[in-house]
Amino acid sequence: MKILLVVDDYMPHSIKVAAKMMHELACELVRQGYEVSVITPNSNQKEKMTSSVLNGVKVYTFKSGEIKNVSKVKRAVNESLLSFYAWQYGKDFLKNNPHDLIVCYSPSIFFGLFISKLKKLWRAKTYLILRDFFPQWTIDNGILRENSLITQYFKFFEKINYNTADTIGVMSPKNLEWFNNYYISNKKIEVLYNWASLKMAKNSDDRYRKKLGLEDKIVYFYGGNLGHAQDMMNIVKLAVNMKDEKKAHFVLVGAGDEYELIQKSIIEKNINNITLLPSVNQDEFKQMLAEFDIGLFTLNKNHKTHNFPGKLLGYMVQEMPILGSINHNNDLKNTLEEFNAGLVSVNGNDNLFYENARKLLDKNLRKNMGLNAKKLLIDKFSVESAAKQIIRSTETEKGVTSW
**pLDDT tens digits, 336-375:** 989 999 999 999 999 999 999 999 999 999 999 999 999 9
Residue 398 lies in a domain: no
Residues 375, 386, single domain; the answer is: no
Residue 237 lies in a domain: yes
Residue 108 lies in a domain: yes
| Owning domain of residue 300 | 207-380
Residues 325, 222, single domain; the answer is: yes
Residues 172, 219, single domain; the answer is: no
Give the pLDDT confidence of 49-98 residue by residue, as tens digits: 999 999 999 999 999 988 887 888 898 999 999 999 999 999 999 999 99
The predicted pLDDT at position 34 comes to 96
Number of structural domains, the chain?
A: 2
Task: Report the range of poorest mean pLDDT among 120-124, 255-259, 351-355.
Answer: 255-259
Residue 201 lies in a domain: no
Residues 283, 324, single domain; the answer is: yes
CATH of the domain at 311: 3.40.50.2000
Residues 362, 386, single domain; the answer is: no
- Residues whose CB is less than 8 angstroms from the CB of residue 347 and which lie 6 or more positions away in sequence, other chains included: 231, 234, 298, 299, 300, 301, 325, 326, 327
Check if the beta carbon of residue 146 is closer than 8 Å to that of residue 233. Answer: no
Residues 241, 311, single domain; the answer is: yes
- Residue 28: pLDDT above 70? yes
The DSSP secondary-structure symbol of 211 reads H
Average pLDDT over residues 370-390: 91
pTM of the model: 0.75
> Can you tell me the distance from the alpha carbon of 345 to that of 332, in angstroms, rounded to the nearest whole number?
11
Residues 129, 239, single domain; the answer is: no
Residues 162, 20, single domain; the answer is: yes
Residue 299 lies in a domain: yes
Average pLDDT over residues 253-277: 93
Buried b (16+ CB within 10 A) or exposed e, 201-225: bebeeeebbeebebeebbbbbbbbb
β-pairing verdict for 49-54 and 57-63: antiparallel
Distances, alpha carbon 343 to alpha carbons 17, 195, 218, 265, 320, in Å: 22, 21, 16, 26, 12
Residues 173, 232, single domain; the answer is: no
Residue 401 lies in a domain: no
Residues 115, 179, single domain; the answer is: yes
Residues 183, 257, single domain; the answer is: no
**Residue type at 113?**
L
Residue 112 lies in a domain: yes
Residues 361, 239, single domain; the answer is: yes
Residue 260 lies in a domain: yes
